[in-house]
Amino acid sequence: MAEQHEVSHGDIYHKLGALEGKLDAVIASVSEKRIDLTEAFRRISELERGVAKWAGIALAASIIIPVIVTAAAPRLHFLSAPPAAESPN
């Protein structure tokens, strides 16, 4: 036959207190993680804005620079071959 255990009110209160302590620790941990997550998302947002800004600058440069070079090309004189050196005779 199985042994009968006596459970007192003190035992129940003790277990409830231990459970309450563990629950408080979990709530504190979740709150801390939420703060960390909020900070991480803020930093990611800041990085995304920076990347978008530099991508826009690069796009503008990739359009403007060829236009400038094309406009300046008729005024630029490029030598097709270096001048021939005179041979001493």
Structural domain includes residue 9: no
What pLDDT was estimated at residue 75? 80
Residue 85 has pLDDT above 70, yes or no: no
pLDDT digits (tens, 9 = 90+) for 7-30: 899 999 999 999 999 999 999 999
CA distances from 65 to 9, 41, 42 (A): 83, 36, 35
What pLDDT was estimated at residue 5? 80
Structural domain includes residue 67: yes
Overall domain count for the chain: 1
What pLDDT was estimated at residue 57? 97
pLDDT digits (tens, 9 = 90+) for 49-77: 999 999 999 999 999 999 998 888 888 77
Q: Supply the range of the domain harboring residue 54.
A: 15-73
Using pLDDT thresholds of 50, 70 and 90, give the confidence band for residue 84. Answer: low
